[in-house]
Chain A
Amino acid sequence: MNHTLPDLIPDAKLKLPKEAERTLAGGLTVIAIRRTSVPLVELRLRVPFGRAPLPRATVLSQALFTGTGTMTSVDIAAELQAVGGGLSAGLDPDRLLVTGNSLASGLDRMLEILAAVLTDPAYPNDEVATERDRLVDHIQVALSQPAHLARTALLKRMFGNHPYAIQTPEPEQVRAVRPAQLRTLHAERVRPEGAVLVLVGDLNPEKAIDAAEKALGSWTGPAKSVVVPPTPVLEPGPLLLVDRPGAVQSSLRMALPALERTDPDYAALQLANLVFGGYFSSRWVENMREDKGYTYGPHTGIEHYLAGSALLVSAEVATEVTGPSLLETLYELGRIASLAPGEEELEQARRYALGTLRLGMSTQAGLAGLASMYASFGLRLDHLRQYSASLATATREQVAEVATRFLAPTNAVTVVLGDAAKVEGPLSALATVERSAG
């Protein structure tokens, strides 16, 4: 029997789900998207939180569900569970993010509970103390994780004095946070103006927005106007080596400049990233893992903040191949920056980018995450049409041009966390190495 690779059937035209949008009187924008696949609703709320004092903001995100004027933390959790629901909060340098879901029939109740948490927070002393201690424990564990330590060192090198440079507070700073400070911060910053609520699921978009308006209409008040300054230009400098004595692996990290999503060259940069290292079938991953066996899960990707974007390169490599791993990484960056990609590898990356967009839209949770993330950058789901078109039409020359501008190894800020006594010598053969003082 003849076994040959079957052809692909071309994708149907990109189809966007039915949605509705309304900005409420208090300033909250509500976007509701219909996908009825399972009888559930996904909820995402993003509240602008740039430049909020980090220790207080972090404790606030941990303690957001500790109580309201009428409900304890246990009441909140139990009432949500009763409709199959759950809500949790997180923080990034630009925003406070609430994530949740429930049975579709529980949407109204979940919105009511969310409204109570937003408009009538209590931050009870005992519960805040518990959450504060748990946060300290959590940070202690993070400080023992190589991925966290490497990221912390990289952020400091990338951002210098910019507010993005530190994204995890010190345990001592967390211990000093008082409940009254959380109440003040909540009153100042947990405001509807500029916030976006996304609801996705088995719902009627207009009716879901009505429900949100009914529940959250009492959430009002102006937001403090905060502007995060643009991120600084990356300053490559020497490779920063952070010592982790006895480590059996080194954490290799690089930051390169990148473009924001709306830049006309963004699709070309994303394709250059994919050809270089942004998916399994990229040059760097095939080289580092499938040819050399230096690493298990190397990856690269573009991270976007409101005030700037960067392309990050990450690999955990065996201590004894740390030098050779840097060599291969510099080689592949130099190659993509110096020579245009091949036609076939570009087509492969293009199909991957276009296909995975569709995969990402195929679940309620995927749609909710995408719509919420886009909205916080002022974009809507229809941006996918434009982005898909740019991915489909970017030429080899465009990709080569942005690769030269952005992926050149001379642009890279490099950090290695590892056993310095073992890796400093090999790394010094390839780069000027500076030992971290910390």
Chain B
Amino acid sequence: MARRIKIPATKYPVERFTLANGLRVVLTPDRSAPVVGVAVVYDVGIRSEPEGRTGFAHLFEHLMFQGSENLEKLAHFRHVQGAGGTFNGSTHLDYTDYFEVLPAGALERALFLEADRMRGPRLTEENLLNQIDVVKEEIRVNVLNRPYGGFPWLRLPPVMFSTFPNAHDGYGSFGDLDSATVADAQAFFDRYYACGNATLAVAGDFDVATATEMIQRHFGDVPARPAPPLPDFAEPDLTSEKRDAYTDRLAPLPGVASAWRVPDPIGDFDNYLPFVVLAEVLTDGDASRLVERLVQRDRTVTSIGGYIGFMGDEFQVRNPTAMLIQAHMPPGGDAEKVLRTVDEELDRLSADGLAPGELERVQARIATHLLRDTDAVLGRALPMAVLELQRGRPEMLNELPKLVGEVTEAQIVAAAATLRPERRATVEVVPGAVA
């Protein structure tokens, strides 16, 4: 048990270049399976949408699939799937991604499709109204028609933050969605979907020279438009605890989630990384501190989890962000008691440090998770595109297991000591359904 397992590393090659129009490109070839992943990431997300237009970044993501210069509505989906591939897109706080995974022989087709919509989507009234309906159904499925919808990712930010970019509902209100216009969409595209504000990453089974030539051919004539200035969304830290509670009429059990601000994930990475490890020390599996204490010993919670970033994207989020702990309780559960116990465990960690082997085993498990994610071509293309966009360092994907392995006990203890009740934002779910 004391003997420490060696944390291995990946050696995915990384080629970077920038086209004349400003598009940044990352290539990471790997011939071990005949598939490719293509990711295009734009440096705009939920935090950048205008007031009165909550949910707009996500709605716009849908509009990027509705046709472009050479593609009718439905054509994008048919061309990807008709090549044996899959596609999707997703909207995050700080970026929006679009991606395909395909058999290797369809690489050029995917590049063509992405370049075509980078030149400009077909924004029509009919498609806008259709996708507003689709997005409303998405919100009903994921938030309104199920228990714990939006808990805590939509419920905690308004408690923790006070400025619109950080605090508002990223899925959007139906009123704001209904108010969206084609002109809004065109303005959003013009401002944020510039090729200077985007990265392209390709992972998998391809030849670098061939892919470089294809990328030049398809993206080279996308008109150069500069990136807008990078906004600063910084807010001061909390100085006293903030609390909220709401009744979820579909929820049968009480829930609670707390968040604490953490250091800038990019500007202060060395002090940020220990929190990533701390979250796992606290909540990863039956041998973690909070699971052992709250689930098994006290039985005050039925499940508990901890992670960084409201969308769980710890290496793909900018400042300000937070470490979250969320728990579901048995019927009649007491959130106060759970929070007090979390505080006790954090105090114990700060005072007594870690047990022998505790840090090493958590680091080994994190390494497995990180390595496992990179086995899929998309698990390389997507994070490398975001790492290029936000840090100019896509090769960091190879380094993460080792960097996690270098976090020290002293850093974990120091991180835990910052998670004080007065810096905490908390939201409680009051069950409104009869269990």
Contacts and interface: CB of A to CB of B under 8 A. Distances in A.
Interface string B1-33: 100011110100000000000000000001011
Interface stretch (A5-13, A21-29, A299-307): A5-13
Interface string A34-49: 0111111000000000
A249 B8 contact: no
Interface residues of B, number: 91
A373 B306 CA distance: 32
Contacts of A358: 33-35, 84, 103
A362 B146 contact: no
A130 B364 contact: no
A78 B287 contact: yes
Interface string A238-263: 00000000111100000000000000
B365 A297 contact: no
B286 A76 contact: yes
A289 B134 CA distance: 7
B273 interface: no
B353 interface: no
A73 B286 contact: yes
Contact of A81 (B32, B101, B253, B287): B287
Nearest to B288: A77
B368 A85 contact: yes
B364 A3 contact: no
Interface in B80-110: 81-87, 101-106, 108-109
B364 A84 contact: yes
A35 B32 contact: yes
Interface residues of A, number: 87
Given A78-B287, A141-B147, A8 B83 contact: yes
Given A5-B109, A6-B109, A352-B84, A103 B368 contact: yes
Interface in A330-367: 347-348, 351-356, 358-359, 361-366
B253 A137 contact: yes
B375 interface: yes
A348 B78 contact: yes
Interface string A97-125: 00001111110000000000000000000
Contacts of B364: 81-84, 103, 106
Contacts of B328: 137, 141
A105 B5 contact: yes
Contacts of A145: 146-147
Contact of B253 (A140, A316, A351, A355): A140
B153 interface: no
Contact of A83 (B5, B34, B145, B330): B5
B401 to A, nearest CB: 9
B6 A281 contact: no
A79 B295 contact: no
A74 interface: yes
A78 to B, nearest CB: 4
A143 B130 CA distance: 32
B116 interface: yes
Contact of A140 (B84, B252, B368): B252
Given A281-B81, A292-B133, 14 more contacts: A11-B105, A35-B32, A80-B285, A81-B364, A103-B371, A105-B8, A141-B328, A145-B146, A281-B82, A297-B138, A348-B78, A363-B375, A364-B375, A365-B372
8 contacts: A8-B109, A9-B104, A82-B361, A134-B302, A138-B302, A249-B141, A355-B106, A362-B33
List the 4 closest A-B pairs by CB distance, nearest first.
Answer: A355-B84, A293-B133, A9-B105, A77-B286
